[in-house]
Amino acid sequence: MGRWGTGIVVRRFLSTLARVLFGFVLASLAAGLVTVLFVTTPVEVLNEPFERLPKTASETFDLALLAATHLGIFASVFVIIVALLSEVFSVRSLTFYLFAGVAIAMLGFTAQYQSEVTGQPTILNNYAIKAFLTIGFFGGFFYWLAAGQFAGRPYGWGRAVTAEPLPVEAVPPAREAENDAEVVITRPPVAIEQARPRKPLLQRLKFSRRSVTQDPAADSATREPSGTPEDTSRNS
């Protein structure tokens, strides 16, 4: 492999790595924001005074970044596994990433439940389960939106069609060959030697008249009853 091939492989690897990292960061931010919105619901934020909205938005953003950091650290190993599988096998289905996001979220729910201390409030309730399912759903969706739908595509895949244009010289000979084949099939040769020339009607009438006048039997038959005017006078 030359320098050109090595450069293509390196650029492909760097572009894939950047795409996966971008999808991971975006999915973590989305999961962190959803987590904060389950703790402080949008209804509670809207019920606050209007003067407090900028401060509340700033606090929500800071909590979302903190939650995204913790979720990203926990899910990093699982995201690497999912990214490797999707890039190697070119998996671009949205269902796959939604299922992977929900599975990673439920693993986090199980790990947090197992780390609980006896006698302390538990997260084993319907609200917490819905929250973790929603977090995994949005995390998988945003990863698919940023990176998953392009998994496995090589570098410069969109320019592969225009790299080698079709030569123009190869088209006319093929068309001429097709036209020749059509002429041979649709227009078979006509046997001209079997056709008999037909004479015009006037020539055929003249030919029949000559044959009648040149018949000696007909001439003798017509001459016998007729005679000269002198013979007829004598006989009378």
In a domain, 60, yes or no: yes
In a domain, 114, yes or no: yes
In a domain, 227, yes or no: no
As a whole number of angstroms, the distance between CA 55 and CA 11 comes to 43
In a domain, 178, yes or no: no
Its pTM stands at 0.63
Exposure on the CB side of residue 86, measured as CA atoms within 13 A? 29
In a domain, 50, yes or no: yes
In a domain, 146, yes or no: yes
For residue 117, give its domain range: 3-156
pLDDT tens track, the chain, 236 positions: 556 668 888 888 999 999 999 999 999 999 999 999 998 888 887 788 888 888 888 888 999 999 999 999 999 999 999 999 999 999 999 999 999 999 999 999 999 999 888 888 888 899 999 999 999 999 999 999 999 999 986 544 544 444 445 555 554 555 444 445 454 455 555 554 444 555 555 565 555 555 444 555 544 544 545 444 445 444 44
> Which letter, b or e, does each residue of 158-168 get, where b requires 16 or more Cβ atoms within 10 Å of its Cβ?
eeeeeeeeeee
In a domain, 140, yes or no: yes
In a domain, 161, yes or no: no
What is the DSSP-derived secondary structure letter of residue 119? Answer: T
As a whole number of angstroms, the distance between CA 97 and CA 27 comes to 11
As a whole number of angstroms, the distance between CA 220 and CA 32 comes to 133
What Cα–Cα distance (Å) separates residue 188 from each residue in 174, 181, 193, 207? Answer: 22, 11, 15, 37
Based on the structure, what is the number of domains in the chain?
1
